[in-house]
Structure 1
């Protein structure tokens, strides 16, 4: 439950932050009449995400067993790519996202079809987060036996909506840089667990038959189905009896992504005027 909650909190807060910045800018520049276009874009993006999730779920239900395992592996790998792209994109864009969104709003409203330009801008921004959420939730629901995962995801979205409204209204001040940094580290651990699960699914689909010896077996001490095992599985990708391939995939993934994410950001270049 905790992993879906935190992931959807971050995904939802990213979308709410983008919408909040756009709405605040319209309000500050006396263009409140354009606010309904924002909600049209948001609702269209939510509808697309829901249809995409339902379509993928219905399609997977028709597959035979091995094809379902392959589908789970593909969804998990897509979710890994999406999660990694999300944390690195926000790391890179966090410092300039407000200025870029303001410039995009001005460009959209000065175009020949201002309403559609603003709707399209909001739609693409929110749909990106929504489709990322679809792939993540499909992967986590397929890999997790925790029936509370959908509840955690829903709570994360609700809290994100509340936080987004607080940011828009000026009542809530978050240290977004620190928030996205710590949640980024957490998401990389979740992605590592999904990557290891994808390796396991590929084996069950008959496409991966190497490095199958177990590294350790803690099923008698700390089974995955126990409360602590479930929490560690969601947070750190814990497996009570991983194969060598799963363990190397998990550890190798973190060995590559964590140093890249934690490295110091390059200073923003500033133009120096000449007198």
Structure 2
């Protein structure tokens, strides 16, 4: 439950921040009458995300067992790649995202069809977050049972909307740099767990049969069905009986991703100055 909550909280807040910056700039520049275009872009992006998620879920349900395992592995690998791309993008773009969005708005109004350009800008900004969320949630839902994962995703999205509204109306001042730094670290752990789970899916699909020696068996002392096991599984990718390949994939990815994440970012000059 915690992993989908965390992912949707971060994704939802990113989308809320993007739209808040756009809405605030429209108000500041006397263009608030263009807000309906912003809402159209948001609703179109949400509709696309729901359609893509439902389509992928329906398609995968028709697959034979081994093909379904392969599909889940592919979704898991895509989710890991997109997760890391999202984390690294936000790390680099956090300092300049406001200026870049405002510059894009000015470019939209310089075109002949300002409303359509604004709809397109909002649509692509929100749709990117929505489609990223689709792959994350599909990968997590496929490795989870029951309703805890969907509930966690819904709660994370709800909290992100509330925080976004509070930030937009000035009632909440959140240290966004610290928030994204901390959630970025946690999401790297989630991605490592998804990677090891995807490798497990490849084995169950009959494609990957190497490094299958069991490393430990904690099914008696810390089973996945226990509260702590469920917590560790959702947040850190814990498995009670992992094999060598899964453990190696987990820690090699985790160490490499952390080194990349904490590497200093070279200062960039503002291209619009």
User: Same fold, TM exceeding 0.5?
Assistant: yes
How would you bin the TM-score normalised by the shorter chain?
A: over 0.9
Contact 1:4–1:156 (Cα < 8 Å) also in 2: yes
Shift, 1:221, TM fit: 0.5
Structure 1 residue matching 2:211: 3-state secondary structure: coil
- How do 1:142-161 residues align onto structure 2 when only pairs under 5 Å count? 142-161=142-161
Moved more, 156-165 or 259-268: 259-268
* Distance in 2 separating the partners of 1:157 and 1:136: 13
Q: Name 2:208's counterpart in structure 1.
A: 208
Shift, 1:40, TM fit: 0.1
Q: Name 1:2's counterpart in structure 2.
A: 2
* Distance in 2 separating the partners of 1:45 and 1:138: 18
Contact 1:45–1:127 (Cα < 8 Å) also in 2: yes
Structure 2 residue matching 1:52: 3-state secondary structure: helix
* Distance in 2 separating the partners of 1:187 and 1:47: 25
**RMSD between aligned residues:** 1.1
Q: Name 1:167's counterpart in structure 2.
A: 167
* Distance in 2 separating the partners of 1:147 and 1:93: 35
**For 1:24-82, what per-residue CA distance to the aligned partner results, in whole angstroms no more than 9, with x for missing partners?**
00011111011110000000000000000010000001100000000100111111111
TM norm structure 1: 0.97
Q: Name 1:70's counterpart in structure 2.
A: 70
Contact 2:96–2:270 (Cα < 8 Å) also in 1: no
Shift, 1:270, TM fit: 7.6
Contact 1:146–1:230 (Cα < 8 Å) also in 2: no
Shift, 1:263, TM fit: 1.9
* Corresponding pairs, count: 271
Shift, 1:144, TM fit: 1.4
In the alignment, structure 1 residue 101 sits paired with structure 2 residue 101: yes
Q: Name 2:61's counterpart in structure 1.
A: 61
Structure 2 unaligned regions, length at least 5:
none
* Distance in 2 separating the partners of 1:222 and 1:162: 36
Shift, 1:2, TM fit: 1.1
- How do 1:4-19 residues align onto structure 2 when only pairs under 5 Å count? 4-19=4-19
Q: Name 2:184's counterpart in structure 1.
A: 184
* Distance in 2 separating the partners of 1:187 and 1:144: 17
Structure 2 residue matching 1:228: 3-state secondary structure: helix
Shift, 1:120, TM fit: 0.1
Q: Name 1:40's counterpart in structure 2.
A: 40
Contact 1:202–1:208 (Cα < 8 Å) also in 2: yes
Moved more, 45-54 or 259-268: 259-268
TM norm structure 2: 0.97
Contact 2:82–2:132 (Cα < 8 Å) also in 1: yes
Shift, 1:146, TM fit: 4.7
* Distance in 1 separating the partners of 2:146 and 2:255: 28
* Distance in 2 separating the partners of 1:165 and 1:159: 10
Moved more, 138-147 or 224-233: 138-147
Structure 1 unaligned regions, length at least 5:
none
Structure 1 residue matching 2:230: 3-state secondary structure: helix
